[in-house]
Each structure stands twice: as structure tokens, then as C-alpha cells.
Structure 1
Amino acid sequence: MGTRKTLEELVRQLQLQLNPAVSVDPENVKSIRVHCYRDAADPAVLDNLNNCFQQQLPIPQHTPESYTAFILSKPSFNDGVIETHALECLGNDGHPNGELWVKFKSGAALAAAYDLPQEKPALPLEELQTTLLGAVELPNVTPAIQSSGPEWLCSPMVCDEGSWLLPAIETPLDVPERFAGHCYIKLVTENHPAGGSLRTELEETNK
């Protein structure tokens, strides 16, 4: 990814793609701030946080790039800037494992922010994956819709040869502002075995 666009540049583009009515012009791109995290997605961390919430205990100390910080983050509009969050997941070897978890404002939230028609656009998951991996022929890409943030965090990506099932969740606009208009998605990068094989096929084709 880094040889073509930085992670921040890609995430900004993905955010705008959630609503095709939003123009990808320099002003809109500048209005998106990407907070990047780089850590292993350890289920024990989520369990520990849930225990802290339930027992009203202090949140454990954590670094700004940690999985804990990502779990606690939420996308928002702040003085005209869209605050987005992207976790580059690490494997047991400490290197990226090819999973990119993103927290965006939803297509409906973008429509409200940019004063666009309130039609609910379908989640353009295949288009997002094409942007992230480059111009490759993808398998069938389907969102696995989750019912809550914790469920989304725990739900695995399933990338078989013929289809990818990627966890996603969208929240409505008519709930408290802190939870309204969110879109969380898990995406495949070229560091993932499934994404890497597609990149290899593309490079072989272009030789």
C-alpha cells in the first residue's frame, strides 16, 4: 500500500466512497482526519475493558496506537472535520496480518453533513476493497452485518477462494449523537494471504 498511497490517504478516500454523492475534491479530502492504530486485536483486551465498564473500574493505561485506544474510539464530526479511525492489525510475529479495521461516518451521516439527498446508499464494500487492493478482480465480497460494536470487534473475517465475508455495522441517525451515523468495516489489505494472492495475479498479468 505504501508504495502507491499512504494508509491515511487511502482511508480518506474510503470514507468519501461511502456516499457516491460526495465529491472527492481536495476540500472534502482535507476535511477528514485519520487516527491510525497499530496493534494485535487481542480478545482478552476487549474482555478486560468490558469488565472495567461493568464494574465501573478505571480504564487500563494504554498507548495512543493500541487496540485499547481503537476500541474506545468513535468516528465523529468535529468543527467541520470528520474524525475517522483505522486499525492496522498485527499478527503474532508483530507484522501486519492484512486486516484493516475502520470506523467511519456512514453514508447517511455524510448525506446529512453535506446536505445531500437522504437516500440510504448501499454499503459499497466491493468498491472499497478495489480501492484498497488496486484494480484487481475480486471474489464475491459480502458484508456480514453485526448488531453491535462488541459483536463487530469479535466477528472474524472469512476469506475463502470464491467469497469474502467481511464484518460490518451501520448505526442509524436517530440515536444519541455519540452512537449515530457510524459505519465500521473490516477490510482486506495486500498483506493478507487472500489479498496478497490477488496482487500477485495482477502483477503477473501486467508483466
Structure 2
Amino acid sequence: MKLFFLGVFLTISYFLSLFLVIDNLSLSVMSSWNELGDFLAGAFSPVAFLWLVLGYVQQQKELQQNTYALNLQAEELRNAVEQYQQMVLISKEQLSHETKRSIEQFRLKAAETKPEFHMASRLGFHNYNNITYTYFWSVYSNSREARNFKICFYPKFGIYDSYEFRTVIAPIQLPENLVLHTELPEYFEVHLTFDSILGVGYELKFFYKKIGNGNFELVDTTSKTNLIE
């Protein structure tokens, strides 16, 4: 706007000065259209050049202002991106903390509700008549509820093959098992699989070896828990 008023002022001043010069010099009247055209061209050329220069200067200022505005927008955008990144980082840290806390609480609850099962370290017979051994074996429990309980013998031990129970709370008494002494295995495994009331899955394996006279001794155990890591 200042350049516009400056241009107007210079233009008016120029034409006034031109009028005074013409008046003081008492120039002769132009006698042809060519002289008028030459006069007008010479008279208006400085004004046209002036406005051309002012327009160029004004354009440069506007470009500078636009560049400055773009730089400000870019700086604001960078600041916004940095703030967003910080917010995302904080959110990730909070989520990680909450996740770890939830997992830890779940682990504690799982430990409190975990059913514990075991079998005797030595499994013996109840009766023997020189031909057949009679067994009454049990699976002991800590009386915490277990669901989808399954017990399997590998290989099959007499009638002991596999048993399934929807829900188990108390210890399990296996049925009477009559086994010929000639059919006693040298080794067998007992696999237990079950879930807690939280849905955590567990698997136990007991490995037994015959030690003579119809008795078996526990030689190894393994366990597996399908718990969130």
C-alpha cells in the first residue's frame, strides 16, 4: 500500500514538473500526430518504468511475505509432529505399563487358582495271587477346581487307558485294575491335561519304571503351562 501511494505521489509530481517545464520553456504547439505520439511516448515512459519498478518491488515483498508465512507453517507443522510423536511415545509407554501390570495380575491370579495334581513316587499293588496283580491307584489333588481333566496311560496298563472328567475338585480314585504278572510293562507314562477356572491349560507327565514284585517307581516328571508370556 505504501508503494502505491508513493507511486501516485511520484506520478503526480512528475506530471506537475513536466507541465511546469513545458510552460516555462514556451514550447511550440505540435503540428502533427507523429509529434503528439512522440511526446506522449516520451512523457509516459518514465511513469511506466516507475510503475514497473514499483510492481516488481511489491511482488518481491509479497514473495518474501509468502516465504515467511510458509516457513512459519512448516515450523508449526514440525512442532505439531514432534508433539504428536511425544504423545504416541507416552501412550505406548502407558499401554506397555498397563499390559505388563495386567499380565502380572493374571499370573498371580493363575497361581492362586492353579490345580495341583500328583501321583505317588512309588506305585505298588494291593493284592497278588501269584498270577494277577490288583492295583488301586489314585491321582492326588490340592482340591482346586480343574476342568476338562484327562488322564492317559502310555502304554495301556491293564484296564488303565484314558479317563476324562468335565470337572475335578477332589482327588481321583482309579478303578480296580487286574493285571497278569506276565503283562506288566517295564516302563509306562501317565499324562494329565486340564484347565484352571481361568482357562489356563496345564500338562503333567509322570514316568515310571518297574522295580520288581509288581511295584513301579517314579523316575521323572515334566510339566507345561499354556500361560501368557
Shared fold (TM-score greater than 0.5)?
no
**Structure having the higher Rg:** 2
TM range (shorter): under 0.3
Instruction: Specify which structure has the higher proportion of helix.
Output: 2
TM-score by length of 2: 0.20
TM-score by length of 1: 0.22
